[in-house]
Chains A and B, each alone.
Chain A
Amino acid sequence: MEPKLNHHKGLTPHVCGECCTKIERISVTLNANRVLEDISLHLHCGELTTLVGPNGAGKSTLLRTLLGELPHSGAIHFLPVFGHGRPDAPAMGYVPQQLEFDRFSPISVQDAFSSALSRWPVALWHSRRDRATAREALAAVHAEHLIHRKLGQLSGGELQRVLLALSLTPVPNLLLLDEPVSGIDLPGREMFYRTVSELRQRFDLSILMVSHDLAGVTAVSDRIVFLNRRIVCAGAPAEVIAHPEVRRTFGLDLVTPNPERP
């Protein structure tokens, strides 16, 4: 434990359980389609909340709404306890599902860090501080050897680790992970979950993660939210797994189908 890294200064590095982000009755309509309906969700510090649901359920849309990319009704309140950022725009970390980018862009890992961290143009050179920060952040996810590689030359798992390191520099109030492990093999996935779970406790982060991998996330999540345009059910992993619609969507009852359910 490193209390100095905790963004809730003066508090113990344990889960404080306070509400960091309040999502109140959010609805999103895209091209006359209601993609999200009446979503209310409170995210707590030090808690990993996982969003699951079928394809097209609006999981990524919810993250993009939190990022401020989509118009919505309802309200989002961020309560950055003592951290950086203003109440309406907190420091958010974001790891996209698959970073869509031009793989031939001559942008190195160090360039990505420097351009996100400072205004000193990466076209000239990197400041000593940016170099040190990038190296330190990459070391936390065991990726410091990648610092001079081009982003386009990284493998899927390497890229996700670099993006996770980037999203944690500086430590955000809210970390958004959009299917961070899709396309990564099982050992890579487990390592990613372990890292995230460790970081959550170390930094007292509130994390919202989208996942398809129900089996993988039940062990690490504090709370699972099953989303299908609206919140179908939310609660502790064990409760959510018992819910009939969750079981149907993820095929958990395939061995012993329940004839009573339509």
Chain B
Amino acid sequence: MNTWHYLISLLPFEWTQFAFMRTALLAVLIVSPLFALMGTLVVNNRMAFFSDAIGHASLTGIGLGVLLGMADPLWALVAFALILGVGIIALQRYTRSAMDTVISLSMSFSIALGVVLLSHGGNFNKFSHYLIGDLLSITPGEVGQLLVTSVLVGSGLLLGYNRILLIGLNESLARSRGISAWWTQMLFCAGVVMVVTMNLSWVGILIINAMLIVPAAGARNIAGNARQYVFYAVGIALFSGVAGLIASYYANTATGASIVLVAMGCYLVTLCIKAARGMQSPAKCGLTGGNGLAE
């Protein structure tokens, strides 16, 4: 940790002189690649709405934690989000109703419950920092916590990457290869829940899903295979993480939101690249539906 602070403070910039900025930079570098890797699978498996619901449902987790008198409601948050995530998947599988309906239902329920719990006694403002997040207040201890969970979830993701990819491609096909869709999906959802909840306090409930979705969505525009997909997504996530952090320092804005804005910029660039490619090779984007503009 000391080495890190020493090395970064050698950089000839004003912001590197502050310990909180150096700690925040480290957090961004740890977490961005994980968000990107997970995002590629979340987008492929059409679970963007699911991860969004988990983020928003965290309000209830915080509410419950406060109600139980916990000083730091993080673990109440993780527990509630896990129960909700498993509940959504189970409900969807058993009722066989449309995923978006089930998610919308559970999200509305848990946001309503969360707001009721937190607004009890008129103190909602006390918790509004969860909505926007605050990266600069992150402590070295929390960075350590992030590192441990990131390494755990990251290696789990890599271990299960092929299976999750195949399930996202087509579930019957995956099943014919002996993959248990139920368990794989459950474990993957648990991973999503861990990543979303652990990073909630610094990214903020309102935009945490963008951290997952935007780099992957951008990478999708320009990638031709799974490896390029992950490579570009990690690149976009790292670039927007660092650039957003520095921009937020100079512009004096919320860090999480600044990162998301830079990532959106990257997304637009990939969209332009894709459009330019489509124009260069119109023959390719005709009937085969490869990379036409009208997607």
Contacts and interface: CB of A to CB of B under 8 A. Distances in A.
B158 A118 contact: no
6 contacts: A100-B170, A102-B44, A102-B46, A107-B44, A121-B158, A121-B159
Contact of B226 (A93, A104, A122): A122
Nearest to B165: A115
Given A107-B165, A108-B226, A155-B287, 12 more contacts: A91-B178, A92-B176, A99-B173, A104-B220, A105-B168, A106-B220, A108-B225, A112-B166, A115-B161, A115-B163, A152-B290, A153-B284
Contact of B165 (A93, A122, A124): A122
Interface string B162-199: 11011011101101111000000000000000000000
What interface size band does chain A fall in? Answer: 35 or more
A35 to B, nearest CB: 14
B161 A122 contact: yes
B288 A155 contact: yes
Majority secondary structure, B binding face: helix
Interface of B: 37, 40, 44, 46, 158-159, 161-163, 165-166, 168-170, 172-173, 175-178, 219-220, 223-230, 284, 287-290, 295
A110 B227 CA distance: 11
B161 A121 contact: yes
B227 A125 contact: yes
Interface stretch (A15-23, A61-69, A72-80, A241-249): A61-69
Most chain A CB neighbours (cut-off 10 Å) among B161, B162, B219, B284: B162
Contacts of B172: 64, 67, 69, 94, 96
A153 B220 CA distance: 14
A148 B170 CA distance: 19
B48 to A, nearest CB: 12
A122 B176 CA distance: 19
List the 7 closest A-B pairs by CB distance, nearest first: A94-B176, A115-B162, A108-B225, A106-B223, A121-B161, A123-B230, A106-B229
A114 interface: yes
A150 B290 contact: yes
A96 B170 CA distance: 9
A115 B225 CA distance: 12
